[in-house]
Amino acid sequence: MNEKSEFDSELFRTATSQLDAVAGRLGLEANIHERLRYPRRALVVTVPTQMDNGRTEVFVGYRVHHNTVLGPTKGGLRYHMDVNLGEVTALAMLMSWKCAIMGLPYGGAKGGVRCDPSAMSARELEHMTRRYTAEIMLMIGPDLDIPAPDLGTNEQIMAWMMDTYSMTQGRTVPGVVTGKPLLVGGSAGRREATGRGIVYALYQAARRLGQELKGWRIVVQGFGNVGAVAARLLWREGCLIVAVGDVRGGVYNPKGLDIRQLESHVAEAGTVAGFPASEAVGSAELLELPCDVLIPAALGSQIRQDNAHRVKASIVAEGANGPTTPEADTILRDRGVTVIPDILANAGGVVVSYFEWVQGLQYYFWRESEITARLQEIMTRAFNRVWVIASKEGTDLRTAALMEGVRRVADAFKLRGLYP
What pLDDT, on the 0 to 100 scale, is given for residue 2? 52
Domains of the chain (ranges, CATH numbers): 39-173 (3.40.50.10860), 193-345 (3.40.50.720)
pLDDT-derived band of residue 4, with 50, 70 and 90 as boundaries?
low
Q: How many CB atoms lie within 10 A of CB 184?
A: 15
Active site residues: 110
* pLDDT tens digits, 155-174: 999 999 999 999 999 999 99
What pLDDT, on the 0 to 100 scale, is given for residue 299? 82
pLDDT averaged over the chain? Answer: 95
Percent of the chain with pLDDT over 70: 99
CB 388 within 8 A of CB 382: no
CB 76 within 8 A of CB 60: no
Q: What angle do CA 364, 367, 370 make, to 5 degrees?
A: 105
Q: Quickly list DSSP for 4-59.
A: S-TT-SHHHHHHHHHHHHHHHHHT--HHHHHHHTS-SEEEEEEEEEE-TTS-EEEE
What pLDDT, on the 0 to 100 scale, is given for residue 129? 98
* pLDDT tens digits, 12-26: 988 898 999 999 999
Q: How would you label 363-397 residue by residue, b for 16+ Cβ within 10 Å and e otherwise?
A: eebbeeeebbebbbebbeebbebbbebbeeeebbb
* pLDDT tens digits, 38-50: 999 999 999 999 9
